[in-house]
Structure 1
């Protein structure tokens, strides 16, 4: 018995799910699919790794199967995603769902030949997965038409806002018909997200299966209070205890992540990196090597914080704490996938105490301390100007300059996708 049967999905699509080994829907799928099949707009809130792609993908495939062929350069259903990695993963899932049907799925992202993408779109596609920047390039060249698009999905919408895509989304929306079904999926619900939902959705059905900011229950979290100069040494020590397991290491900057990867290679680890300065081909090769276990340590910026579904990832290291606290939840969500267990280790230098406080506020919990003593001011509400402690592994020496704890400006990373 397939539990997808009573959701209004066509029999052939349910049979396809059975062939894929999918018989029991996840909570977000149970909540979203019936409403989407009724043509309603849906706003889905769920933590990463909960099956959101199928939650919107199944209704899209089911409804588009009953439609005619798209017009030349036309698109029946459009899915927008913030990063190349997530767009490619969504496209892979959709291609599995449409297997055995005449539906065509295409993906357009930066870092690849736009001429090849133009040729691919010439006859029209049923489902198009795109990053906003590349889609605007194609719209400017009149290589794609969205006037007859009946379905729009904004996936990981909160990250698109954080990456500065709000103006790009508004530019794209001008090409879309007002009469359409729209689905918005997000792991968090910042205030700007409410404005976006009000702008794009009409009387949406809200489906929330876990509190925003909640980390997966099977992730064992810990934090080391450590001087910045000691981070690399500690990371190597910890990685050395599980050389045969996959580990994902998050850095804050492209340059810093690349430098750390090279340092890990010198230490004897099979390492690779992905970030905005890498070409699409380089990023895909690094991810493939990581999936296959040829690379055991992947160093990445937040381009890999969402959409990276590699169940074998056992360890996530926050070498640098993220400026956006919700990104911590997405980062550690790369482990403990598909019902497995995972470990998430954070390093906190004195000038990152504000980031840690913000993360713990989002989590509504204190992360267990693995080593070092919490820097002074951790429990005070003021983010800036508090006195630094001299705790932590390799702690700050008395008389050392105090580090600024002001929140850094969020960079506009729209072009990185």
Structure 2
């Protein structure tokens, strides 16, 4: 099922995908603030505990990332999406329940983050492969612009809602917003028509299919460069955001509600970045827009200005660069991939991109303990910008527009060793 250029918003399946993403993103960004603040303010965790919690959230991309695409190809895509939402709702609901009973522990928070992360891996692979199956290649950038703009609104509103709820009711209660968002997302997705798989499982088995995804990602120069650039960015970004909370709460003595509101206000930058992604692509070409967006991450160092406005400015620059980068990089990666390889490409790329985050969170905790939060935050800002060297020294830099199906190799050419029949 596809959608004509004039009917993107009127297409029922895309609209339900969009609504599900909108509500779950809002809730997720409440949890991004509320979960570590639960560890900090309720359980008295330090930088090591917060780093462990952040690492557990994304560790499933290392544990499950490689086979996730082959798993999704073997299951009804809509069922994967709905089941993942329900699982995450139940897991997060256990936190306020345990807190109310006086049984909450850091070990439970880490376990919830880990298991919910496993559900998120499967959800993301199915979701990001479903969008190109619904939207034609010529409209992918428009669709991703709309999705990223919606996520920007969730990133902006979520931390603010979290800050208000944490201040009024406590961090564990704030997680109920995410529980409700996952329930709503599951209801939207349950009403979609059957989402066709991009390919049928290959005859060689799940691990052979997964290996095909790995070979494709690391043989294709454009997909490889985008994946590595994003992975290196996340290696520093994950620790940066986690240690910024420690820096703001422990060293600058800012109230939790203020931190949530600062993050919310700064995320307006993400919305602006997503909104101008098309203009940057038209002026610079998609490859250079991606590369310069990565360079702009260095502005995150502004958080070291010891004032709430400094934190807001650094986060705003970082968010603007992320919105600009994500719209163009995700669309280019999808457009450069044959349809039969989408699930496995997504799984392998996210193994690298999101799998870098637990490593980065752990690295952030260690370096902060050794050198202090300000030194680490400055180093992380430089590290994020340096990731741009990967795309600058690749064919991405010379890519003016998204490739069409005529520009891509056929699936058999992309990976002749792996059967990829419908």
TM-score (norm. length: structure 2): 0.24
Larger Rg: 1
Compare the two structures and name the one with the higher helix fraction.
2
Compare the two structures and name the one with the higher strand fraction.
1
TM-score (norm. length: structure 1): 0.24
Higher relative contact order structure (alpha carbons within 8 Å, sequence separation ≥ 6): 2
